[in-house]
Structure 1
Amino acid sequence: MGQPLILHRYINRQVFLTTVMVTFILVMVLVSGRFIKYLAEAAAGEIAADALFLVMAFRMPEFLQMIVPLSLYIGLLLVLGRMHMDNEMVVLQAGGQGHGRIVRSLIMPILMATTLVAMFSLYVTPRGDAEVNRIFEEQKDRSVLELLTPGRFHVKGSSNTQRATYAEQMNREKGVLENVFVADARFQARGEADRLLTVWAKSGKLVQEDGISYLLLTEGFQYQGKPGQSDYKEIGFQEARVRIGKERTDSRPPKVRGRPTPELIDERDSNRDAMAELQWRIALILTVPIMALAAIPLARVNPRQGRFYRLIPAVLGYMLYVGMLLVTRSAIEDHRDALPWYLHTGWVHLVAVVVVFLLYFGGRIFRRRRRA
C-alpha cells in the first residue's frame, strides 16, 4: 500500500511543478502581448490609464482557462517523457507498477485541472467579460477632458466626420485645459473636406447639463469656412460651449461572452450565438481530460529518440483539436437556419476520444488482426 502512495506523490509533485512553470511562462507571453495592445490604446487616449490594470485583472480568468489545459498537457509530456528517458518507467513496471497504475496516479491532477477550468469557463470568465464590456462602454462615454493627454492631438470620429482636440497644458486639480484647440471636419464621399470649424480658446472646463457633457471655452475665437476658399468667418467670444459627450443612457446588456451560463442554456435553441458560446464553454472543460489522457501514450519515447521527439507533433495535435473547436464554434454562429445535426462540437470531441483510444489500444488491435 505504501509503494502506490509514494508513486502517486512523486508523479503528482513532478506534474504539478512542471505545469505551474509552463503556465507561468505562457501567461507571461499572453499577458504581455495583450498588455502592450491596451497600453497603446491608453497612450492614444482610447482608454484611461487607471482602467488598464483593472481590465487585465478581469481578463486573467479567460487567459487561464485557455492556458491550463495546454500547460497540463505539456507538463505530462515533459514529466512522463523524462521518466521514459531515465528508464524510470522500466523500473516501475519491473516492480509491479504497470501502465494502469500510472494512469490512476494521474487522476487527481486531471480532476483538479478540470474543476479549475470548469469554474473559470462556466462562472468566473463570463462575469469578468461582463465587467470588461462595462469598462469599455464607460470609456466610450468619457469626455475628451478625461482622456486628453497634454501636448498631443486627440482625434476621434468616423469616415465622414472627425474631431481633433489639443491642449497645451492641463490643471488636473481645477479640471481646466489651457490653450485649447478644437477642429471639427466633415468630409465628402471622395475624402475631400466639405466643412471645417476651428476653435481656439485660452482655457476650457468640463461642464454637464441634462446629462450631456460640454467643454466650456473662455476667451477665444471661432473660424469657419471651407479650405481653399476665402470666405472664412472669424468670431470672437468670451464664453462658448462645445458638446463633447453623448447623453448618458443606461448600460448596454453584456455581450454573449459575458452572459451567465444559465441564460445561455435557456436561449440555446433560439439564439445561435448563445448555442455556440455554451458549447465552447463545455468544450474547454472536456479538453482537459481528453488531452491529458492523450499525453500519457504520447510521452512514450525511446532513450535514443530524446524526450522532445514527440513534443512538437503532440502540441500540433493539440492545436488542431482546439482549432477544429474554434471552426465549429464560428460555423454555429454564422449558421442562421436550422442547425444541421453534424454541426456540433460533440463530433470534434468524439473524434478526439477515438484517437486517444487508438493511442492506447491501436497497436494491440493491429497485432491481433495480423495474427488472425
Structure 2
Amino acid sequence: MNTISRYIFKDILKTQGAIFGVLMLIFMSQTFIKFIGRASKGNIPAELVSQLLALSVPTMANFMLPLSLFLAVLFSIGSFCSQSEMVVMRSVGYSHRRLLGVITLLIIVNMAVNVACTCFLSPWCESRQLDLINKAKSDPTMLAIDSGKFIKLNGNNVVYIENNGTVDKNYNVMNQIYVFSGGDASTAPSVTISTSAKSEYDADGLFWLTLLRGTRYEGPDEKGEFKISFFDEYRAVVPEVASGHDKAKVSTKSNSELLKSGTSADYAEMEWRIVQPITICILVLLVVPLSMVNPRRGRFAKFLPAIIIYISYYLFAFGFKSSIARGNFPVLPGIFLVPVIYLFIFTIPLNLTNTEWYNRMRAGRKKHVEVVR
C-alpha cells in the first residue's frame, strides 16, 4: 500500500470510527432509556440494566457498521473532491481502480466484524438477554422489591414495603411490610402488617417470606365477621411466577437451529444474516462514485441521493424478510434478490462511469456521431 492509499485508508477509518461512536451513543442511549423504563415499572430488576445494555452492543453494531462505513466513504471521498485533492491524486496516476482497492480492504474488515456479530455474538447475546429477563420474572429474589412500591407476587397478593433494609447473611431484611390479599371463594380478604420481615431460600429451593411480630386482619367473611390475629412469626411460600415470560425471538436462535427448523420465519432470519455482510459490499462500492463531486458543487452535492438509495435498500430488504416470514414470498430468491438488483442497477453502472474504458467508449461514440453528421 503506497502513501496515498494509506492516507485514504486512515482518513476513512478515522471518520468511520467517529461516526460509529456517535451512532452507537445515540442508539445505546435509547436502549438504556427503554431498560430504565422497564425497571421503573418493576418488569425487570434495576441491577440487570447494565448487563442488558452490554448485551445489546452486538445487535446495535450490526446496523451501525454498514451505515458508519457508508457515511465515512461518502464524507471522506467527498472531502477529497471538494478540496481538489482527488484531482491531484489523479494527476499523479492514482486511478479509480486503486481507490476501489483501498475501499475493498475496508469492506473486508467490516464484513468480518459483521459476520462475527450477526452469526454468533448477536444471537447469543439476545438469547442471554431473554434468559436474564425471564429468570428475573420467575425468581422472587430478583423482583424489584424497593421501598415505597406495590409489588404483585401472585394471584391477588400484593406486598408493600415501607423500608427495604440490607442483606444479612443469606436473607434480605425488610422493615414495616404490608401484605394485601384479595381472597377467593374459600378465603376472606386480609391485610397483614409486620414491623419487620425477611426473605430467604430453604434447602429445597423454595422461597419463603417470613413476617415477624405482626397483626393479621381478615374479613369480612360470608357472615360479615372480621378476625384479628397477632403473631410473632408468620411464614409463607412465595411461588415462582409462571406467566408473563418474554417469548423467544427468531433472532435468538443459532444458525444450526434455524437450518433444522425449516419454518418460513427461520429461513427469513437465516437469509437476513447472510445478506447483511453482502449489503456492506454492495452499498459501500455503490457510494464511491456518488462521493465523486465537482469541487464547485460542494462535498454534499450527492448526499441526498446516496441516503435515499441506502434507505430504500433496507426498506426493500425488511419488506422481503417480512413477506418470507409470513409465507407470502418464496424463500428463493428471497432477500438475495435485493442485493442482486442494486448491484446491477446502481453499483456496477455507477462505477463503470469513472473508468478509462467507459471514457474511451463515450469518446468513440461521440466521434462516430460527428462522422455520421
Say which of 22, 28, 33 aligns to 2:30: 33
> In structure 2, what residue type is equivalent to 1:274?
D
Structure 1 segment 154-303 matched on structure 2, within 5 A: 154-155=151-152, 163-174=157-168, 175-185=172-182, 197-208=190-201, 210-224=204-218, 233-246=227-240, 255-267=249-261, 270-303=262-295
What SS does the corresponding residue of 2:240 show, helix, strand or coil?
coil
Instruction: Kindly report which structure 2 residues correspond to 1:290-329, keeping only aligned pairs within 5 A, or say none.
Output: 290-329=282-321
Could you say which residue in structure 2 is the equivalent of 1:113? Answer: 110
Relative to structure 1, the CA distance from residue 148 to residue 308 in structure 2 (aligned partners, 3 Å threshold; closer, same or farther) is same
- The TM-score with structure 2 as length reference comes to 0.83
Selected match of 1:360 from 347, 351, 357: 351
**Structure 1 residues 68, 156: closer, same or farther in 2, change over 3 A?**
farther
Amino acid at match of 1:360: N
Partner Cα separation in structure 1 for residue 300 and residue 80 of structure 2 = 12
Give the superposition deviation at 1:33: 0.9
Partner of 2:330: 340
Among 47, 50, 68, the alignment partner of 2:47 is 50
Shift of 1:28: 0.5
- Letter of the 2:48 counterpart: A
| Residue 151, structure 1, aligned to residue 141, structure 2 | no
| SS in structure 2 at match of 1:221 | strand
Matches within 5 A, 1:15-94: 15-94=12-91
Question: Which AA in structure 1 matches 2:339?
Answer: H
Aligned-pair identity in percent equals 23
Give the match's secondary structure for 1:105.
helix
Cα distance change of structure 1 residues 212 and 323 upon mapping to structure 2, 3 Å threshold: farther
| Displacement after TM superposition at 1:44 (Å) | 3.2
Change (3 A) 1:155 1:253: closer
Whole-angstrom distance in 2 between the partners of 1:283 and 1:35: 28
1:350 corresponds to which of 340, 348, 356: 340
Number of positions where the alignment pairs a residue of Structure 1 with one of Structure 2: 353
Out of 111, 124, 127, the residue aligned to residue 124 of structure 2 is 127
Structure-2 change in CA distance of 1:130 and 1:341 (3 Å): closer
Contact 2:264 2:331 in 1 (8 A): no
8 Å Cα contact 1:199/1:221 also seen in 2: yes
Cα deviation, residue 184, structure 1:
4.0
Give SS of 2:32's match: helix
Distance in 1, matches of 2:217 and 2:175, equals 19
Name the amino acid aligned to 1:133.
L
Change (3 A) 1:225 1:359: farther
- Structure 1 residue 232 displacement after superposition: 5.3
> Is the 8 Å Cα contact of residues 324 and 331 (structure 2) preserved in structure 1?
no
Counterparts in 2 of 1:211 and 1:97: CA distance versus 1, 3 Å: same
Change in Cα spacing, 1:45 to 1:305, as seen in structure 2 (3 Å) is same
Letter in 2 for 1:31: M
Over the aligned positions, Cα root-mean-square deviation in angstroms equals 3.4
Larger Rg: 2
Q: In the TM superposition, what is the alpha-carbon distance from 1:15 to its structure 2 partner?
A: 0.6
The separation in 2 between residues aligned to 1:271 and 1:184, in whole angstroms, is 45
2: CA distance between counterparts of 1:231 and 1:348?
73
Deviations along 1:214-268, whole A, 9 cap, x unmatched? 3222333344558xx96655444443344433189xx99964322222332333x
Distance 1:235 1:328, change over 3 A: farther
> Partners in 2 of 1:173 and 1:280 — Cα distance?
47
Taking a change above 3 Å as real, the CA distance of residues 91 and 255 of structure 1, as seen in their structure-2 partners, is same
Work out whether residues 7 and 105 of structure 1, in 8 Å CA contact, stay in contact via their aligned partners in 2: no
Contact persistence 1:65–1:121 (CA under 8 A): yes
Structure 1: stretches of 5+ with no match in the other structure: 188-194
Deviating more after overlay: 170-179 vs 237-246? 237-246
Give a deviation string over 1:43-74, Cα, whole Å, max 9, x none. 33332233222222222111112101110000
Alpha-carbon separation, structure 2, partners of 1:361 and 1:156: 66
One-letter amino acid of the counterpart of residue 297, structure 1: P
Deviation at 1:156, TM superposition (A): 6.3
- Which ranges of structure 2 fall in alignment gaps of 5 or more residues? none
Measured after TM superposition, the shift of residue 196 of structure 1 is 5.1
Contact kept, 8 Å, 1:145 with 1:206, in 2: the verdict is no
Q: 2 CA distance for matches of 1:358 and 1:7?
A: 26
Q: CA deviation at 1:311?
A: 2.0
Change (3 A) 1:314 1:243: farther
